[in-house]
């Protein structure tokens, strides 16, 4: 792997005037910042519609994009919205944190107005897009229209005819609510049109996009509703078992994620068709894909439905290496540009599977400074095949970690990384990764800025105050870009020459 570096910053965290980061000016300014800073990669989180807890890992669809990311300025320029309508829309005034509830009411109302005004102009392009993406979009649009018609209830609480997809009832609903379906076709048309334009702009500046593919889908999703046979569900439509992680040093009761578990036997018999489509869609959208919870493909922790914690689960064998070989074969027979998120409890079998597949794994610098045992997360253990991070969206920021870490661990980090207060401790952590032998270094933007845990993205196993972080538009300044570029050049990671 060629030595390089990049920045982790989700779309939602970008600056902008409309309550959340989007595909507008803030995204293009960030691409310019990455290029000026000598970076070659931009890593993001999943782009799907956020569901329970506003988490991008609990989406209403494994394929659809989040309408919140649509740039409204484009709709104004095309005459589908008026500037005064946006000014009067009462978008959240807080520029540092996202207010998802207000955003839902405000932005979706504007998008519905834009849909009605654009119909005569865009209907042919939208319907052509819908036909091309029919394999997922038809079910998604039906799901979202039915969900709204049922007052936002999750699908297993719908009327039985719609819950179980009675053909006559579905056809009647489709005929009577055609505009509701078209609205969702319209949002997805806009989303992907704007996304691919943004991706092309990044490519022109020598920036590759690293996307994120969650291993599981949400229970309340078009995927589960449309294809219940792909999941381990009861006759009532509830999961029989759900996903999570066992208790560990970070959580005495483990992590109860609650996603339904796949019916791997059925999926295998169907040649992993759903997964092939999902991976193909991901590789159209991104240059590389981080596979969340990679170890779950070798063995996963399943918990009986209804348990309040993850304690009473069990390990079950996953589809293993044969699954990835089947995907590779279906997509051309070559090794896929995958990053394996192989953090947490790893067995010899997981390590062997990743190595045999040839996918690079991840290392987190925050985990390196155990004073009782020598950690393989220390930079002198890194190899060219490793993707290394100061932290991820699930961790403290570096300055947040430093403030709360035990005194011995802070002392170890200071000695190992030769931290100097004058330049900011966060730069010592960044340089520690940059000068290592790792192939790719990825730094969360919060760590580039030296922000504390007020800028943290997610606290695992908690709900209610996550995924809200936004960056200031002043963060993309020349001084920081120049400093990051100098560090990148110093340690031979400057491959972006544009």
Segment 285-334, tens digit of pLDDT: 999 999 999 999 999 999 999 999 999 999 999 999 999 999 999 999 88
Describe the crossing of helices 425-434 and 478-490 by its angle, rounded to 10 degrees. Answer: 40
Q: Measure the CA dihedral 259/58/466/433, to 10°.
A: 90
CA 100 to chain centre: 17
Which pLDDT score is estimated for 460?
85
Is 372 among the domain residues?
no
- The encoded tokens of residue 309 equal 């914690």
Q: Do the Cβ atoms of 129 and 188 come closer than 8 Å?
A: yes
Secondary structure of 46-59 in HEC code, one letter for each residue:
CCCCECHHHCCCCE
pLDDT number for residue 218:
96
Out of 11-25, 238-252, 257-271, pick the least confident: 238-252
Residue 483 inside a domain? The answer is: no
pLDDT of amino acid 92: 84
User: In terms of residue numbers, what domain contains 188?
Assistant: 9-360+456-473
Instruction: State the pLDDT confidence band at 496, using cuts at 50, 70 and 90.
Output: low
Distance (Å, whole) CA 141 – CA 174? 10
Give the Cα separation of 426 and 403 in Å (integer): 12
Q: Locate the DSSP E strands across 311-401.
A: 314-317, 338-340, 362-364, 387-389
- Cα dihedral 17, 23, 26, 28, rounded to 10, equals -150
Give the pLDDT mean for 14-20: 94
Cβ neighbors of 310 (< 8 A, separation 6 or more) are: 244, 245, 246, 247, 251, 253, 254, 255, 256, 301, 303
Domain assignment of residue 175, yes or no: yes
Q: What is the CATH number of the domain that holds 108?
A: 3.20.20.80
Hey, what's the torsion of the CAs at 311, 313, 314, 316, to 10 degrees? -130
Work out the percent of the chain whose per-residue pLDDT is above 70.
99
pTM summary value: 0.96
As for how many domains the chain has, the answer is: 1
Rounded CA-CA distance 149/180 in Å is 10
E strand or H helix that includes residue 243: strand 241-245
Q: What does the pLDDT average to over 393-412?
A: 96
Q: What is the mean pLDDT of residues 221-227?
A: 98
How far apart CA 119 and CA 213 sit, in angstroms, is 33
% of the chain surpassing 90 pLDDT: 90
404 in any annotated domain: no
Mean pLDDT to the nearest integer, 390-402? 96
pLDDT at 411 over 70: yes
pLDDT of residue 161: 97
For residue 497, what pLDDT is reported? 52
Q: Is residue 376 part of a domain?
A: no
What average pLDDT does this structure show over 263-273? 98
Give mean pLDDT, residues 168-188.
97
More confident residue, 77 or 423: 77
pLDDT at 498: 46
What DSSP character marks residue 261?
P
- Alpha-carbon distance of 212 to 6, in angstroms, equals 15
pLDDT, residue 461, reads 76
Which positions are catalytic?
292, 341, 394
Name the average pLDDT for the chain.
95
Is residue 392 included in any domain, yes or no? no
Between the CA of residue 13 and those of 211, 352, 404, what are the distances in Å? 15, 36, 24
Considering the domain boundaries, does residue 446 fall inside one?
A: no
21: tokens are 């980061």
Q: Is 341 contained in some domain? A: yes
Predicted confidence (pLDDT) at residue 422 exceeds the cutoff of 80:
no
pLDDT digits (tens, 9 = 90+) for 105-114: 999 999 999 9
- How many Å apart are CA 205 and CA 30, to the nearest integer? 11
Q: Give yes or no for residue 436 having a pLDDT over 90.
A: yes
Within a 10 A sphere around the Cβ of 122, how many other Cβ atoms? 19
Label the pairing between strands 241-245 and 299-304. Answer: antiparallel
Can you spell out the DSSP letters for 176-237?
HTHHHHHHHHHHHHHHHHHHHHHHHHHHHTT-EEEEEE-SS--SSSHHHHH-GGGB-B-TTS
Residue that the structure tokens 């209610």 belong to: 464
Residue 314, classed as helix, strand or coil, is strand
């Amino acid at each position: 792997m060629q030595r390089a570096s990049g920045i982790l910053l989700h779309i939602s965290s970008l600056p902008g005037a409309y309550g959340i980061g989007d595909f507008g000016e803030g995204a293009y300014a960030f691409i310019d910042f990455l290029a000026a800073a000598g970076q070659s990669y931009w890593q993001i989180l999943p782009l799907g519609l956020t569901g329970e807890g506003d988490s991008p890992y609990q989406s209403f669809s494994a394929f659809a994009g989040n309408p919140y990311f649509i740039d409204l300025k484009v709709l104004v320029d095309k005459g589908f919205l008026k500037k005064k309508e946006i000014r009067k829309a009462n978008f959240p005034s807080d520029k540092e944190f996202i207010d998802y509830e207000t955003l839902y009411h405000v932005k979706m109302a504007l998008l519905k107005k834009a849909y009605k005004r654009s119909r005569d102009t865009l209907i042919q392009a939208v319907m052509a897009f819908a036909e091309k993406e029919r394999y997922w979009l038809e079910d998604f649009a039906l799901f979202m229209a039915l969900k709204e018609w049922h007052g936002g209830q999750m699908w297993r609480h719908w009327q039985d005819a719609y819950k179980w997809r009675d053909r006559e009832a579905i056809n009647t609903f489709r005929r009577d609510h055609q505009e509701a379906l078209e609205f969702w076709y319209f949002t997805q048309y806009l989303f992907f049109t704007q996304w691919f334009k943004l991706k092309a702009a990044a490519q022109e500046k020598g920036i590759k996009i690293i996307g994120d593919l969650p291993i599981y889908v949400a229970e309340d999703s078009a995927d589960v509703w449309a294809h219940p046979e792909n999941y381990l569900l009861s006759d009532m439509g509830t999961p029989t078992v759900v996903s999570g992680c066992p208790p560990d040093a970070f959580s005495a009761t483990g992590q109860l994620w609650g996603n339904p578990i796949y019916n791997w036997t059925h999926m295998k018999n169907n040649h992993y068709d759903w997964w092939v489509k999902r991976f193909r869609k991901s590789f159209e959208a991104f240059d590389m894909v981080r596979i969340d919870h990679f170890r779950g493909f070798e063995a996963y922790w399943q918990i009986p439905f209804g348990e309040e914690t993850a304690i009473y689960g069990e390990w079950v064998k996953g589809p293993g290496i044969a699954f990835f070989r089947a995907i590779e074969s279906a997509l051309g027979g070559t090794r896929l540009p995958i990053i394996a998120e192989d953090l947490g409890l790893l067995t010899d079998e997981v390590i062997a599977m990743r190595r045999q597949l040839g996918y690079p794994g991840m290392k987190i610098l925050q985990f390196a400074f155990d004073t009782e045992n020598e950690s393989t997360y220390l930079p002198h253990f890194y190899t060219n095949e490793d993707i290394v991070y100061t932290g991820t969206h699930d961790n403290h920021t570096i300055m947040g970690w430093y403030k709360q870490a035990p005194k011995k661990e802070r002392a170890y980090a200071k000695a190992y990384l030769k931290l100097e207060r004058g330049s900011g401790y966060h730069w010592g952590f960044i340089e520690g990764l940059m000068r290592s032998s790792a192939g790719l270094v990825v730094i969360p933007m919060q760590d580039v800025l030296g922000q504390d845990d007020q800028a943290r993205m997610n606290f695992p196993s908690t709900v209610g105050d996550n995924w809200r972080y936004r960056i200031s538009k002043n963060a993309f300044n020349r001084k920081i870009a120049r400093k990051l570029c100098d560090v990148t050049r110093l340690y031979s990671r400057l491959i972006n020459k544009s």
